[in-house]
Amino acid sequence: MDGQHVSGAEALVRMLALHEVEVLFGLCGDTSLPFYDALARLDHGIRHVLCRDERSAGYMADGYARVTGKVGVCEGPSGGGATYILPGLVEANESSVPVLALTTDVAVSARGRYTLTELDQEALFRPATKWNRMLDRAEDLPRVVRAAFAQMATGRPGAAHVGVPYDVQLGAVDAGELWADKTFARYPAHRAAPDPAAVAALARLVAQAERPLLVCGGGVVIAAAEAALARLAERVGAPVATTISGKGAIGDGHPLAVGVVGTNGGTPPTRAIVADADLVVFVGCRAGSVTTERRRFPAPGGARIGHIDVDPAVIGVNYPTDAAVVGDARLALEALDAELAGIGARPGRRTAVERAVASAKEEKFAAFRRLAESPDAPIKPERLVADLQAVCPPDAILVADPGTPCPYFSAYFTQAAPGRRFISNRAHGALGYALSAAVGAQFGRPGAKCVAVMGDGSFGFTVGEFETVLRHKLPITFVVVSNATYGWIKAGQRAGFDRRYFSVDFERTDHARVAAAYGLRSWSVSDPAQLRAALAEALAHGGPTLVDVIAQPLHEAAAPVSEWVA
């Protein structure tokens, strides 16, 4: 291919294909015309999913990346398109999910001339991404795309942005430069092994502990370290708690699985296990404010702290650390298990620990069942969780928006097997995530049933994407928790501001009729006795469906949010 040249737009399409990109989520614009023309003309095997909002495109790429282990890719035009795509990148980057945003831009030659939609995109995307470049020359495009994939897939995964001006899309690229290292199409690539001395130090700490606890974040799931985690926990007889992002690190049916802990989704019985530990080992977890209930559980100066993370910057930020291991979660857990096998951990305590975990879970779910069986209307969130659990396929992917869905489903919706089957946007908690992320997840796992649960606030953010769902005939079931309020904020006003409710309520929408107007089959349910049958029918339907649930407002509910508990 020496001496041959292709256009920058053609080179971009070829580089995506070489990195095994199969789905591209995006929205058209004037500055993207050469890129779209190349997508139309070339034989590349990439499926382009036209969205109705660039923000949705970013969330779709995020959901796709989470369930496939591949880099998610989204694209949008200059100006408003670049600003709209930002939320998806911010969430993905802070959640350690590799999402590449490609934005087009005005021509390099038009910069500084008050050109319509001109914007300093590199400055805009810098704080939102792990890596970010704005191209000035077409010949640099292959190298920059390779660098973006390498950055996203190695170390702590994250988001990247590449900006491609109009004239760069038209410029000449040496075809001989079109190559890729396919290692970086998936993550984590080039796993980092831990220092044996650090592993040995942590192993001694674990072996000495009377009541060790493993608190696992999303890093365990990202690293596919579930089997290594279970072996280690069983060897040392340690209970395993998770963050919301770490849900799936261990199957909820495992006798050592505590469930989600923290301010969002944690409960008093699970908190008690954290409070009782004399050693807490954070694994693939930043030990942030939600997980630790603002550094109260574990209490500083109480339990000793171990920490395993691929990112050295997170270690020692919130707690003095007695032993730290920097490295890939799977490799670190395997090394720690091997080290403990050699120095003799105490598996004899496992029976007593399992009894304590079972007792805590029974207490937690007994309180839940009392509310889940209530015949009261409006429908209690607990009833929704229990009825959806009863009819949902065990391998379904559930995507929960912030507000009512996140605390309830993270706390009480169980999955028997480990792995990524629960998704919630916990880094920034923006409304409008679940619908779009479920679209990405459905493209990523077309054989699985995807369920998106959102509040009516989130519904208003993202309803336009129902047209995208219908156009692609995606068999997603959407569940709307309808209570006509921004419930999380109203609950905060109730708990912390003497019930001075201000500007949080809105009129109720008939979400079922709105969905039907788009072409979804839909149900509206206000009677708790009819809820399970409606959910079962929606899940069994072969096309997209929506169930509108007239639900108890969050500020009146017994939500598993510690800051609201008297």
Q: What is the pLDDT of residues 479-537, one digit of tens each?
A: 999 999 999 999 999 999 999 999 999 999 999 999 999 999 999 999 999 999 999 99
CA-nearest of 91, 96, 93, 58 to 76 is 58
Q: What is the pLDDT of residue 342?
A: 83
362 occurs within a structural domain: no
Pairing of strands 160-165, 99-105: parallel
Q: Are residues 513 and 555 in the same domain?
A: yes
Give the C-alpha separation, 415 to 434, whole Å. Answer: 19
Global confidence as pTM: 0.97
pLDDT in tens, 29-47: 999 999 999 999 999 999 9
Query: Is residue 171 domain-shared with residue 249, that is, in the same domain?
Result: no
β-bridge mates for residue 264, sequence order: 561
Together in a domain, 337 and 402: no
Q: What is the CATH number of the domain that holds 242?
A: 3.40.50.1220
Q: Is 14 inside a domain boundary?
A: yes
Q: For residue 10, what are its two tokens?
A: 């053609």
378 and 330 in a common domain: no
C-alpha torsion angle, residues 235, 238, 242, 246 (rounded to 10)? -10
Q: Is it the case that residue 274 has pLDDT exceeding 90?
A: yes
**Residues 315-343: what's their mean pLDDT?**
96
- Using left for φ > 0, alpha for ψ between -120 and 50, and beta otherwise, residue 265 falls in left
Q: Are residues 76 and 137 in the same domain?
A: yes
Give residues with Cβ within 8 angstroms of 65, minimum separation 6.
71, 72, 92, 97, 98, 99, 187, 440, 444
Dihedral sign from CA coordinates of 489, 495, 496, 501: positive
pLDDT digits (tens, 9 = 90+) for 358-380: 999 999 999 999 999 999 999 99
475: pLDDT strictly greater than 70: yes
| 521 & 559 share domain | yes
Among 455-464, 478-487, 511-520, 554-563, which is the least confidently predicted range? 554-563
CA 385 distance to own-chain centroid? 20
Longest dimension (CA), the chain: 75
- Let me know whether 543 and 435 are in one domain: yes
Q: pLDDT digits over 57-78, tens only?
A: 999 999 999 999 999 999 999 9
Using CA atoms, how far apart are residues 172 and 159, in angstroms rounded to an integer?
27
Name the domain count of the chain: 3
**Contact of 221 with 249, CB cutoff 8 Å:** yes
- Kindly state whether residue 280 falls inside one of the protein's structural domains: yes
pLDDT digits (tens, 9 = 90+) for 429-441: 999 999 999 999 9
Report yes or no on 413 lying in a domain: yes
Residues 315 and 428 in one domain: no
Is residue 503 domain-resident? yes
Q: How far is CA 132 from CA 4, 120, 146, 183, 415, in A?
A: 29, 12, 12, 20, 37
Look at residue 23 and tell me whether its pLDDT is greater than 60.
yes
Name which of 186, 233, 180, 243 is nearest 206 in CA terms. Answer: 233
Look at residues 358, 450, 469 and name the one whose alpha carbon lies nearest to residue 397. Answer: 450
Distance of CA 458 to the CA centre of its chain: 16
526 and 427 in one domain? yes
Please say which residue of 323, 357, 391 terminates a domain: 357
Full residue range of the structural domain in which residue 337 is found: 196-357
Among 154, 185, 216, where does a domain finish? 185
Is there a domain that residue 366 lies in?
A: no
Indicate whether 3 pLDDT > 90. Answer: no
User: 157, 185, 213 — which closes off a domain?
Assistant: 185
518's CB contacts (< 8 A; 6+ apart) are 466, 467, 469, 470
pLDDT averaged over the chain? 96
Q: What is the DSSP letter of 299?
A: P
- Is the model's pLDDT at 347 over the cut of 70? no
What confidence tier does 2 reach under pLDDT thresholds 50, 70, 90? Answer: low
pLDDT at 1: 46
How confident is the model over 191-219, as a mean pLDDT? 97
d(CA 205, CA 325): 12
By percentage, how much of the chain surpasses pLDDT 70? 99
Is residue 191 in some structural domain? no
Q: In this structure, are 471 and 346 located in the same domain?
A: no
| 406 and 345 in a common domain | no
In sequence order, what DSSP letters do the residues of 462-498 get, joined into one string? Answer: HGGGHHHHHHTT---EEEEEE-SB-HHHHHHHHHHST
Q: How confident is the model at residue 349 (pLDDT cuts 50, 70, 90)?
A: confident
CA 424 centroid distance within chain: 5
430 and 475 belong to one structural domain:
yes
Q: What is the CATH number of the domain that holds 164?
A: 3.40.50.970
- Whether 207 is in a domain gets the answer yes
- 10 Å Cβ neighbour count for 44? 18
